[in-house]
Amino acid sequence: MRLDRLLCLQPMWNRRTSLTLLAQGKVRVDGLTEYDGNTDVSLFRRVEVDDQLIQPGQQALYMMLNKPVGILSATSDLVHKTVMELLPEDLASQLHIAGRLDRASSGLMLLTNDGQWSRRMTDPELKKPKTYLVTTGNPIDSDTARLFAEGIHFPYENITTSPAELEQLNSHQARLTIYEGRYHQIKRMFGRFRNPVVGLHRESMGEIRLDNGMAEGDYRELLKGEIEG
């Protein structure tokens, strides 16, 4: 939200008084005087007017986790253990998942309390690459790479997947890069060849690669460059 809009939303000020407060240098964002009403003040920024706290600000958190097979990517579940149970409770209670993985899949999961950032990471329109190591039950058909590159039509949603890149590693394994995250997307893409996916491991999302040094179930904060990438 813009700073001037946040100020106008306060019951004690209208648009004119809000602009006056800004012009008089009475508004501080994250401790610094701010004159520009166009400034974006996400939930994570602390806004004060004349030392009166308008928006408390919150520390932005960005984590990566190496999800093991069998763990559910959900906040809570009555039956299965969830990724949130791999984190300390006070941390988990603040976070949401940016891009789910099936229970049988493993690898990179991103967790944050920044809704704008997670929307950017997962918005299919932004076409961020996601790379997976795929293991299949049957040998990979020689037409697979070509048809994935052309896009696979999903009749239920009536969409065609964005061109995906398949690098075959051996008869039953490939590295696949897709640009959306549709429901069971990779299983359904291989389903077109009646080839069951028996192993699926996410290696990267956008510029963020799963840290090789992380064991299954480990998590760590993202580095500045990873968050911005």
**Does the active-site annotation cover 30?**
no
CB count within 10 Å of CB 180 equals 17
Catalytic entry in 102, 114, 141, 211: 102
Cβ contact 171:140 at 8 Å: yes
For residues 18 and 185, which CB has a smaller minimum distance to ligand URA in the complex?
A: 185
Q: According to the binding rule CB under 6 A, does residue 72 interact with ligand URA?
A: no
Q: According to the binding rule CB under 6 A, does residue 55 interact with ligand URA?
A: no
Site size toward ligand URA (CB under 6 A) is: 8
197-205 and 106-112: which strand pairing?
Answer: parallel
- Shortest gap between Cβ of 56 and ligand URA (angstroms)? 36
Tell me how far the alpha carbon of residue 185 is from its chain's centroid: 16
User: Site residues for ligand URA, window 158-187 (CB under 6 A)?
Assistant: 184-187
User: Site residues for ligand URA, window 191-220 (CB under 6 A)?
Assistant: 200
173-178 and 165-170: which strand pairing?
Answer: antiparallel
**Dist. CA 118–CA 143, nearest whole Å:** 34
For residues 39 and 135, which CB has a smaller minimum distance to ligand URA in the complex?
A: 135
CB count within 10 Å of CB 129 equals 14
For residues 45 and 67, which CB has a smaller minimum distance to ligand URA in the complex?
A: 67
Q: According to the binding rule CB under 6 A, does residue 80 interact with ligand URA?
A: no
User: Site residues for ligand URA, window 86-115 (CB under 6 A)?
Assistant: 101-102, 105
Q: Tell me, what amino acid is at 103? A: R
Cβ contact 111:97 at 8 Å: yes
For residues 102 and 226, which CB has a smaller minimum distance to ligand URA in the complex?
A: 102
Q: Hunting for tokens 């590159």 — which residue is that?
A: 149
Catalytic center residues:
102
Residues at the interface with ligand URA (CB under 6 A): 101-102, 105, 184-187, 200
